[in-house]
A and B are shown apart, each in its own frame.
Chain A
Amino acid sequence: MNTAFKENWLHKINPSLKLLTISFLFVFAITIHHFNFMITFTLSVSILFIFCTGHPYKHILLFLLPFLLIFLSTAASMILFGKGETTLYKWGILHITEESLYRGLHLGLRALTFAMMGLLFALTTKPVQLFYSLMQQLKLQPKYAYSFMAAIRLIPIMIEELQTIRDAHKVRGVQTQKGMNSLLKSIKSLPIPLLSQSIRRAFRIAVAMESKRFNSSNERTFYYQVGFSHYDLLFIGYFILSISLAYLFAINFPFFPVSDVRY
């Protein structure tokens, strides 16, 4: 993601460690069934997301907008159609119960934390650093890592090419008509040239890389050395501390009189 931002401590964390920590938190969040704990857990993630990514608050607010939609739409179907006993509202097939309301909100918060953790990672990690770190710390085979890096470099070229194909259509007077048939045609006329060109280009790059022995699995040296620093401890420490506090707070001062949201 390319927007103007300040580099701060979140950018200096070892990318592999960051990925593993966030993966662990993902699994951990799935094991949270306690609604009040989910609320405080969301808070502890959102503090880091809102204040520590180094991006301007205007951008952060913009990123938050689609998150609201995610929250609402994830929560809605469980609230409206979920199982439960204490009826709050019933109209036709809609059946809102107290249990399904809490469960829906719980799911909404869960989706929100996943979105924030994912974006937190994407906003503070450079892909090149990530793949160098994966090779050095997690022993990912170089042929995969370099392929990923080459492919990521191709994204802007693909987007440019998409525009070229569109322009070419316009120049040659391709008319978009209404109806199912022309819709199918337009579905075919964009991705196929895009895909075939990408495959050709990928093939050429791969031949060049193979001739430069990129696939050799012998000892290799790296231009970038990615290591660890005390920021890594700070990152893990933040989560251990804030999640413990979140848990204690949720248990001692519950916001809502519910515990387990499962049916």
Chain B
Amino acid sequence: MFKGLKLTDILVTIVISIGFGILYKIWGPLYYAVKPLGLHLDQLIYGMWFIAATVAFLIIRKPGIALLAEIAASSGEFLMGSEFGLEVLFYGLVQGLFAELVLMAFRYKRFDLLVVSIAGISSCIGSLILDFYKGYVGDLSTWNLILYIGFRFIGSILFTGVLAVAIVKALEATGVTKLVRSSSQKDHEALNQ
């Protein structure tokens, strides 16, 4: 999966992700501040934690980037002393892997809102699987559990899908994406059509 990555791709991905890692770190206290409001309103902002994968993938457009980005962002968050402790590394790994699998299923050829939203939902499912083991969320009352899952799905489409595409569109306007998307890749795409 990581075979085709050059040092440039890796470094740019990691730098972007560490940037998001700082954001993730700030997001933690925000999440815990919203949480006591009850009714799982905190789950609406959970989707932010999946965004590094899709933003980095949309910028660099290569296999393995989504997974690497999510791992890098979570380790950045971890090394800055996250409140969540080691759990961020495991969540990051699983979320990145689930996003990567969706992108792989589309053969890394589609870069639109739909695909990244599905990738976000997939990360969301990954995080829910971990929650079932770690947080006993299956033991919440049923109506509460539905609220919990529903809000997280909505949040992941909003952040990982819509926001990520908006960010990358704005970045494309600045021209920096031309630096990292190689011309050879464009040639490949032209050949494939």
In the bound complex, do residue B85 and residue A116 qualify as a contact, i.e. CB atoms below 8 Å apart? yes
| Interface membership of A50, Cβ < 8 A | no
| Interface membership of B105, Cβ < 8 A | no
A107 and B132 CA atoms in complex are apart in Å by 12
Residues of B within 8 A of A207 (CB): 8
Interface window among A4-12, A36-44, A78-86, A234-242:
A78-86
In the bound complex, do residue B12 and residue A119 qualify as a contact, i.e. CB atoms below 8 Å apart? no
A196 and B178 CA atoms in complex are apart in Å by 11
Residues of A within 8 A of B180 (CB): 199, 203
| Interface membership of B190, Cβ < 8 A | no
Of B22, B87, B167, most buried by chain A (CB within 10 Å of CB) is: B87
In the bound complex, do residue A107 and residue B136 qualify as a contact, i.e. CB atoms below 8 Å apart? yes
In the bound complex, do residue B14 and residue A148 qualify as a contact, i.e. CB atoms below 8 Å apart? yes
A196 and B54 CA atoms in complex are apart in Å by 16
Residues of B in contact (CB 8 Å), total 53
Residues of B within 8 A of A77 (CB): 35, 38, 40, 140, 144
Specify the chain B residue showing the minimal Cβ separation from A29.
B134
| Interface membership of B129, Cβ < 8 A | no
Residues of A in contact (CB 8 Å), total 73
Residues of A within 8 A of B112 (CB): none
From A22, A119, A201, A206, contact of B7 by CB (8 A)? A206
| Interface membership of A209, Cβ < 8 A | yes
In the bound complex, do residue A188 and residue B78 qualify as a contact, i.e. CB atoms below 8 Å apart? no
In the bound complex, do residue A66 and residue B86 qualify as a contact, i.e. CB atoms below 8 Å apart? no
From A1, A103, A198, contact of B19 by CB (8 A)? A198
| Interface membership of A183, Cβ < 8 A | no
Residues of A within 8 A of B12 (CB): 199, 202-203, 206
> Smallest distance from the beta carbon of A214 to chain B beta carbons, Å?
6
Interface window among A68-76, A171-179, A223-231, A248-256:
A68-76
12 contacts between A and B (CB under 8 A): A30-B134, A107-B136, A118-B87, A144-B14, A151-B15, A151-B17, A151-B18, A192-B171, A193-B174, A194-B19, A195-B19, A195-B167
Residues on A lying within 8 angstroms of B by beta carbon are: 1, 22-23, 26, 30, 63, 66-67, 69-70, 72-74, 76-78, 80-83, 95, 100, 103, 107, 110-111, 113-119, 121-123, 125, 127, 130, 143-144, 147-148, 150-152, 154-155, 158-159, 188, 191-196, 198-203, 205-207, 209-210, 214-215, 261-263
